[in-house]
A and B are shown apart, each in its own frame.
Chain A
Amino acid sequence: DAGVIQSPRHEVTEMGQEVTLRCKPISGHDYLFWYRQTMMRGLELLIYFNNNVPIDDSGMPEDRFSAKMPNASFSTLKIQPSEPRDSAVYFCASSILPETQYFGPGTRLLVL
């Protein structure tokens, strides 16, 4: 299996622009998680889905962030408008059981 696939791997954008991060989970995995990692705050869970339904989005920092999972093989995390404080590494993870998450390689986002 190819593992969790994320795109793009690196993104540099200017403040105010829309950013869309993409994730393809491992086939057959029912759970999908979006995380953000920074030096200051560590790894934070933003939102997770089970069978394409959002279960907990309490970690989404504000209305500028939105996530969708239109089908079992694709999810997006969108930031609109982006701000410099959104600069971080964004990870997607998937699992069959929530205990055994497999992380993707991450997207390094830099907002100037």
Chain B
Amino acid sequence: QKEVEQNSGPLSVPEGAIASLNCTYSDRGSQSFFWYRQYSGKSPELIMFIYSNGDKEDGRFTAQLNKASQYVSLLVRDSQPSDSATYLCAVKDTYKYIFGTGTRLKVLA
């Protein structure tokens, strides 16, 4: 059974801090890795995806991938109260997408 694991949280950080969200996956054959944000009662929105080991930056967000450790993370810099949401990690192998259950982030003003 392929799995994607996330700490459910909540992860609470003060406004302006860096929030670090983590995800591990079980299938070494996984090829693509995604981070989605989901506000309460809303649908998921893609933040970014990453294929290669290392860091990928997009605005205040940085995705980090370490395939050897089967670990992907998302850093949210200068966190804002509007970043408070559930963050879903997803992993794709050849055809299949598997989502984690999400980490709830709370940014305290």
* A interface with B by C-beta (< 8 Å): 33, 41-45, 48, 55-56, 58-59, 91, 98-106
Contact = CB atoms under 8 A, between A and B. Distances in A.
Given A91-B43, A103-B44, A106-B43, A45 B96 contact: yes
B49 A43 contact: no
Contacts, number: 41
B17 interface: no
A43 B96 contact: no
A106 B45 CA distance: 13
B36 to A, nearest CB: 8
Nearest to B90: A43
Given A98-B92, A99-B32, A99-B34, A105 B43 contact: yes
Contacts of B99: 42-45
A91 B97 CA distance: 14
B78 to A, nearest CB: 25
The residue among B32, B44, B92, B100 with the most chain A CB atoms within 10 A of its own CB is B44
Contacts of B102: 42-43
A18 to B, nearest CB: 25
A49 to B, nearest CB: 12
A99 B49 contact: yes
Given A42-B101, A43-B88, A56 B43 contact: no
Contacts of A59: 96
